[in-house]
Structure 1
Amino acid sequence: MITAMDELISILDLERLEHNLFRGRSPESDWQRVFGGQTIAQALVAAHRTVEEDRHIHSLHAYFMLPGDIKVPIIYTVERIRDGGSFTTRRVVASQHGHAIFSLEASFQKDEIGLEHQIPMPLDVPEPDLLLSQAQLLERFGKNVPEWVSRYWQRPRPLEMKPVMLEHYTSREKLEPRQNIWIRTTGSVPDDRVLQCAVLAYLSDMTLLDTSTFAHGRAVFDSEIQAASLDHAMWFHRPNRLDDWILYTQDSPSTRGGRGFTRGELFARDGTLIASVAQEGLIRLRRAP
């Protein structure tokens, strides 16, 4: 049986159509639109395939324009902006049905030695082994959570998540807009730095926007909320094999004008800061009919 993780690795193996043109597909699912993390990851793979092997992604900035159609392929067009002595820049546009649905700019760098520091990982977070998985949460609290939460926990994914705080799922209480979630892949990731960065980009879009709803007693999958990613930025600090749990710390400094802004850091279990993320998304209350 093909697992969700096998499927993720498969869809990241883009088909090359021409020199700077690639085609990607979506996994078979009941999702109504393409998951944003998938588009980020596929666009990153497309860009990387036009870059010298000794250069690796260090930052990306992306914009979501239209919902992706899971039933048709996505065409990724790469523009080779610059090949410098130390840095390489690429622009990628993803298209469906003759329209751009997504764009990404990415910068790649040769590894080099320089000044180094990092912020520490939060110390007051329980170890993942002490927390319940989503399957265990469903078994324990399934009758006491809204239907949308139950559907969310049951959906097959290439990732396993263990949230530290559960109040968001079980109540409408207005909470501090921050959370910690342990995340790991449900299968092994090939020993390939390009794929490891792509999978990290994929998982970075998980749960992030939801944090901006905490202060309002809401959730992105709440029927009263219209939610969608608008932009996504990511900085890759240190490589990681993705062979263990990763702590995703998140906070939302602001929501206003129908938009929610959220930041995140991804830490390896040993405390190493792997990457930083920032995202703004549509957080709009639906009008009553």
Structure 2
Amino acid sequence: MTGASSPADSGGPAERLVDLLDLERIEENIFRGHSPDEPLQRVFGGQVAGQALVAAGRTTDGERPVHSLHAYFLRPGVPGVPIVYQVERVRDGRSFTTRRVVAVQRGRTIFNLTASFHRGEPGFEHQVPMPGVPDPESLPKLVDEIREHLGSMPEPLERMARRQPFDIRYVDRLRWSARDLEGVEPRSAVWMRAVGPLGDDPLVHTCAVTYASDMTLLDAVRLPVEPLWGPRGFDMASLDHAMWFHRPFRADEWFLYQQESPVATGARGLARGQIYDRRGRLLVSVMQEGLFRRKRD
């Protein structure tokens, strides 16, 4: 990454994602990221988390990959308005490096993140096995499923689909009405990969998966209550987000995102995810809580 970005940059969705993660260094520990002027109520949370992790990583020596992050979404970001990321160098130890990042927009804190980086060490290994699912090539693209069901997509949705940086393929069929929800459990799984090459910087791939991790995780919470595609009965918002990175990976190669919700109560739902590569290796573990506030008539 070059260290400068512009919302006007052209190119395909993958190039725009790399550009989105390419922050401008303002001061030694201060960075600025652009936010696309999309027709959305708020800035996508995965974008803020990915950019904050880039800012944290830019203040390390680059030899210790991130192994975990913990973050809170405090206020909705405004699309089209730059976001400033202020990094605190909490600790530089012999094996671990810790950074704290505060994201500020229009003088107000909208997000904070703590990330830990670890120098690789040998050790024992075990993991839960990847579930058996169809290969991604055998599944339809999400945009194709939507077009098939609707006949054609509204122009704003079509424009967003053209800019989508990830190819998403749901393992189970999409449910479009309440009649499809009978017996549905709070689980979901998708295959994902960036729609084009993202280069060879490991930090870019880590931050790209951080971006993607916020795209479908709360599906598992909603599934027993309402269809994923159709009018929403709830105002939704991500509240916090945690990730643990277990192995190196590339975000432009297929990965399976297995998701489930162990509990929903008090207008909040908890979701956890496990990300596997095609070899069945567990790459990343994710936890997120979301707000699900029923809309008033």
C-alpha distance in 2 between matches for 1:138 and 1:70: 25
Find the counterpart in structure 1 of residue 89 from structure 2: 80
Q: Deviation of residue 238 (structure 1)?
A: 0.3
Match of 2:135 among 127, 132, 144: 127
Aligned partners of 2:50 and 2:210 also within 8 Å? yes
Aligned residue identity for 1:58? H
Structure-2 separation of matches of 1:29 and 1:282: 22
Residue from 39, 46, 49 that aligns with 2:48: 39
For 2:253, which of 244, 247, 250 is the aligned residue? 244
1:180-199 matched pairs, under 5 angstroms: 180-199=189-208
Partners of 2:266 and 2:221 in 1: how far apart?
13
Q: TM-score, normalization: structure 1?
A: 0.92
Other structure's SS at 1:222 match? coil
Task: State the identity as a percent.
Answer: 47
Question: Structure 1 pair 65/152, CA: closer, same or farther in 2 (3 Å)?
Answer: farther
The structure-2 alpha-carbon separation of the partners of 1:240 and 1:199, relative to structure 1 and needing over 3 Å to count, comes to same
Residue 142 (structure 1) shift: 2.0
**Alignment partners' CA distance in 2, 1:180 and 1:257:** 25
Contact in 1 for aligned 2:89/2:99 (Cα 8 Å): yes
- The answer on 1:208 being equivalent to 2:217 is yes
| From 283, 292, 296, the counterpart of 1:274 | 283
Q: Which residue of 1 aligns with 2:127?
A: 118
Structure 1 residues 5 and 55 mapped into 2: Cα distance closer, same or farther (>3 Å)? same
CA distance in 2, matches of 1:199, 1:154: 17
Measure, in 1, the Cα distance between the counterparts of 2:228 and 2:136: 23
Among candidates 24, 35, 48, match of residue 15 of structure 1: 24
TM-score by length of 2: 0.90
Measured after TM superposition, the shift of residue 218 of structure 1 is: 4.3
Give ranges in structure 1 of 5+ residues lacking alignment. Answer: none
**1-side partners of 2:292 and 2:166: how far apart?**
24
Cα distance in 2, alignment partners of residues 128 and 245 from structure 1: 8
Per the TM alignment, residue 27 of structure 1 is displaced from its structure 2 partner at its CA by: 2.4
Residue type matched to 2:231 in 1? D
Q: 1:157 aligns to what?
A: 164
| Equivalence for 1:286 | 295
C-alpha RMSD of matched pairs (Å): 2.3
Matches within 5 A, 1:216-231: 216-219=225-228, 222-231=231-240
For 2:142, the aligned partner's letter is Q
- Per the alignment, in what secondary structure is the counterpart of residue 216 of structure 1? coil
Aligned length: 286
1:221–1:208 distance in 2 versus 1, CA, 3 Å: farther
